[in-house]
Amino acid sequence: MPYAHPETLVSTDWLAQRLGAPDIRVVDASFKMPGVTPTTREDYDAGHIPGTVFFDIDEIADTDSPLPHMLPSPEKFAARVRKLGLGDGNRIVLYGSGLNGAARVWWTFRAFGHSDIAILDGGFKKWQAEGRPVDDLPPPPRDRHFTARFNSLLVRDKAQMLANIEGRQAQVVDARAKGRFEGTAPEPRAGLRSGHIPGSLNLDHLDLVDAATGLLKPAEAIKAAFEGAGVDLRRPIVTTCGSGVTASVLALGLHLIGHRDVAVYDGSWSEWGLPGDHPVETGPARR
């Protein structure tokens, strides 16, 4: 079973042969939890693939929201990525220290209408392990016009998630680890309740990645992982997680196997888990 969208992933060989091409832009989209050091920016400054620009997930976001790295307005997104030289006509290649941030930024660009975007399979770790070139130089500034066209079909908000509990139009698949989903392990962000959105299924995002290589698993294994979690791949899906980052890994996996009706709950547990009257379940998923 081949990937339905093989163009979504590029190999280190593919990128090495095209570094410096006028239509290719490379982006470091690494993500770490707050308080983890060195920061992703410090990692980027210490060394990156030549010509790479740094995408700050927490700054190219709705910084007026109390929730972490929520989607910005189309206007803000267009202004920020234009200054990075990312825009119309570019093929954008994303990488990170792991898959999480790259998947989130992949989904973000698609939410704003840019589909010519790919992820470096294996990321920066694979690139470094192969002894490929790395430098610590910032690329020369070059603006590029970006036309933002927001695609609301790829995004869900709290009101839509509440309505879905009653209507069950879409399956909700939570990308967090089992302990956090079931409410037996604490949340990394203070002040949040434990558990999951009622009716959710659980598939740890790490189950889509080969732990030994950091590469995404083959399409057949990704499909089996979703089905093993009780997901009906014939029905609409909304993915969720702690803050909308690893939910994007599940959205990426679904895209790779050809699922056409998948959205990400942007607020995820950072919003749903706040104190209040949002219904919460604990324990294993009820299939």
**Hey, which residues are catalytic here?**
241
| Contacting residues for 93 by C-beta, under 8 A, at least 6 apart | 10, 15, 24, 25, 26, 27, 117, 118, 119, 120
DSSP 8-state symbol, 257: T
> Are the C-beta atoms of 38 and 46 separated by less than 8 Å?
yes
> Are the C-beta atoms of 141 and 254 separated by less than 8 Å?
no
CA torsion sign for 254, 260, 266, 268 is negative
* Closest among 82, 156, 144, 148 to 113, alpha carbons compared: 148
Bridge partners of 209?
216
Beta strand spans in 7-165 (E): 9-10, 24-28, 53-54, 91-95, 117-120, 155-156
Which amino acid is located at 252 in the chain?
L
